Amino acid sequence: MRLEPIASPSPARRIVPPALAMAATFLVAALLALIAGGNPFAVFGLILNGAFGSKFALLETLNSATPLIFTGLAIAVAFRAKLWNIGAEAQLYAGAVLTVILGTGALGLPSYLMLPLCALAAMLAGALLLLGPALLKTRLGVDEVVTTLLFNFIFLLFVSYLLEGPLKDPMGMGWPKSARLTSEARLPRIVDGLRLHWGFALALAAALLVWVINTRTTLGYEMRAVGQNAEAAGFAGIPVTRVILKTALLSGGLAGLAGFSEVSGLKGALTLDLSPGFGYTGIVVAMLALLHPLGVVVAALFVAAIFVGADSMSRAVGVPSYIADIMLASALLFMVLAILLTKFRVRRD
């Protein structure tokens, strides 16, 4: 079997494989629903309903999409430069930790100062956390996939220590939890009475910013060049190491913002289960979006819808909610194959 590049793919060739990929994903899900004793159509209907069927559901979906937009952006930025940041989970928690340190009463700042301060601190924390593995990569050639992955475990243990110790809620019942953020440190709701908070708007703004960086700035150009062919980029004079480090700072910072947004906008305090894997799901989001920042928004909404919908469906029908994770992992694998087939022809040889 041989792969032959296609000079100019026809519109059909650009659309059919990804469409087939999504169809295959739904087929897999339908099969699994059947195995669990559910009716696939009912299951899909309930998922859709659970995601968009009511105002509450819709807002829930948008809220769930918010951290995914941040981590999706974080990973899209990193992967574009071939920096395999699998540590967004830890970077998210780092941002959450800084938010809690600053926002639970240590500083008496009004909210228009407190919120930007927490956000910046969160970004800095996330950025610094990724800087370590990035430096190991540039200085010593250590593969960042494993180092960032292992760091997730390390940092989560560190958070566990913090929550049982220095950051423990003095008024808590022994459950590992931080003190609550003051009202100045809370991101307000977008509309009073609804759960949707300003973190969502911040996420959309971040997506726009990343898009502008990618297409209009020299940094965006450099990141793409380094990601596609670091050797040629270096030969042409692009400062490869500096670009990788800048990418790491940007990527880690975005993931740190996810932590800030979740703690300040949604939860109000830090617990160990703040993130049910946003850092990893961000990978799926980024890949489904083809690493495009605006695509990340769409993909994050799609992924959030599936999770929220599946949760609701599972409570109603009893098909395990893990079907959502399976759908997303399948979608990832099918999509990656489909994208290849939009650019290459398969030839027997």
Partner 1 sequence: MSTENEAQVVLRLQGITKRFGPVTANEEVSFDLHRGEVIALLGENGAGKTTLMNILFGQYTADAGSVELFGQPLPPGAPRAALDAGVGMVHQHFTLADNLSVWENIVLGVDHLSGLSLKPRQVKSRIRALSQQFHLKVDPEAKVGRLTVGERQRVEILKALYRDAKILILDEPTAVLTPQEAEALFATLREAISTGLSVIFISHKLHEVMAISHRVVVLRHGRLVAERATDDSSREELAALMVGAEVTAPSIETAPPGAPLLALSQVCTPDHGAAPGLKSLNLTLAAGQITGLAGVSGNGQAALSDLLSGLISPTRGEMQLAGEPVKSWSPRNAIAKGIARIPEDRHKTGTIADFDLTENAILETYASRFSRRGWMNWAAARAFTKDLIKTYDVRCPGPDIRIRLLSGGNMQKLILGRVLEEAPQIILANQPVRGLDIGAVNYVHGELAKARDRGAAVLLISEDLDEIMQLSDVIHVISEGRLSPSFARGSMRPEELGAWMAGHGFDAEAPDAA
Partner 2 sequence: MDLFDILLSASFWAAAIRIASPLIFATLGELICERAGVLNLGIEGIMVAGAFAGWIAVWAGLPLWGGVAVAMLTGMMLGLVHSILSVPFGLSQHVVGIGLTLLATSLTFYTYRVVLPEVSSPPKITAFQPYEIPLLSDLPLVGPALFSQTPLTYAGFILAALTALVLYRTPLGLAVRAAGENPSAVAAQGLSVTAIRMGAVIVGSGFMSVGGAFLTLSAFDSFFFDMVNGRGWICIALVVFGAWKPGKAVMGAILFAAFDALQIRLQQTGIGAVVPYQVFLMLPYFLSILALVVMSRRAEIPAALMVPFNKGER
DSSP, residue by residue, 289-335: TTT-HHHHHHHHHHHHHHHHHHHHHHHHH---TTHHHHHHHHHHHHH
Question: Measured from the CB atom, is 53 or 234 closer to partner 1?
Answer: 234
Amino acid at 208: L
Matching residue, tokens 């708007």: 201
List the structure tokens of 26: 């739904």
Q: Where do we find the tokens 């605006």?
A: 294
The entry of partner 1, partner 2, none that residue 218 binds, CB within 5 to 8 Å by partner kind: partner 1
Specify the residue, 160 or 217, whose C-beta has the smaller distance to partner 2.
160
Among the listed residues 47, 21, 23, 22, the one whose alpha carbon sits nearest the alpha carbon of residue 33: 47
Minimum distance from residue 27 beta carbon to partner 1 (Å)? 32
How far apart are alpha carbons 275 and 155 in whole angstroms?
13
Q: Does 86 bind partner 2 (CB under 8 A)?
A: yes
Asked if residue 328 binds partner 2 (CB under 8 A), the reply is yes
CA distance linking residue 219 with residue 49, whole number of Å = 42
Q: Which is nearer to partner 2, 79 or 211 (by Cβ)?
A: 79
DSSP 3-state assignment of 44?
helix
Q: Per this entry, what is the length of the chain?
A: 349
Among 52, 213, 337, 342, binds partner 2 (CB under 8 A): 337
Q: Does 200 bind partner 2 (CB under 8 A)?
A: no
Instruction: Kindly tell me which of 140 and 236 has the beta carbon lying closer to partner 1.
Output: 236
Q: Is 242 in the site for partner 1 (CB under 8 A)?
A: no
Contacts (Cβ under 8 Å, ≥6 apart) of 28 = 326, 327, 330
Q: What is the DSSP letter of 47?
A: H
Q: Which stretch binds partner 2 (CB under 8 A): 153-161, 220-228, 230-238, 299-307?
A: 153-161
Minimal distance, residue 67 CB to partner 1, in Å = 29
Q: Which stretch binds partner 2 (CB under 8 A): 152-160, 215-223, 243-251, 301-309?
A: 152-160
List 16, 30, 36, 204, residue binding partner 2 (CB under 8 A)? 36
Taking CB within 5 to 8 Å according to partner kind, which of partner 1, partner 2, none is near residue 149?
A: partner 2
Bridge partner residues of 347 (DSSP): 2
Rule CB under 8 A: choose which of 287, 296, 305, 313 binds partner 2: 287
Q: Do 208 and 73 meet the contact criterion of CB atoms below 8 Å apart?
A: no
**Does residue 149 bind partner 2 (CB under 8 A)?**
yes
CB 44 within 8 A of CB 179: no
Closer residue to partner 2 in complex, CB, 136/204: 136
- Is 116 among the residues that bind partner 2 (CB under 8 A)? no
CB 220, min distance to partner 2, A: 21
**At a CB cut-off of 8 Å and minimum separation 6, what does 238 contact?**
222, 225, 226
Q: Would you tell me how many other CB atoms lie within 10 Å of the CB of residue 262?
A: 27
218 contacts partner 1 (rule: CB under 8 A): yes
Nearest to 258 by CA among 284, 238, 276: 276
Cα 123 to chain centroid distance, Å, stands at 14
Q: What minimum distance in Å lies between the beta carbon of 341 and partner 2? A: 9
Stretch binding partner 1 (CB under 8 A), from 1-9, 89-97, 287-295, 307-315: 1-9
Task: Pick from 221, 294, 311, 342 the residue near partner 1 by CB under 8 A.
Answer: 221
Write the CB contacts of 53 (distance below 8 Å, at least 6 apart in sequence): none
Instruction: State the residues that interact with partner 1 by CB under 8 A.
Output: 4-5, 7, 216-221, 224-225, 228-229, 231-239, 349
Q: By the criterion CB under 8 A, which residues form the site for partner 2?
A: 1-3, 32, 35-37, 84, 86, 136, 140-143, 145-147, 149-151, 153-154, 157-158, 160-161, 164-165, 280, 283-284, 287, 318, 320, 322-323, 325-326, 328-330, 332-333, 336-337, 340, 349
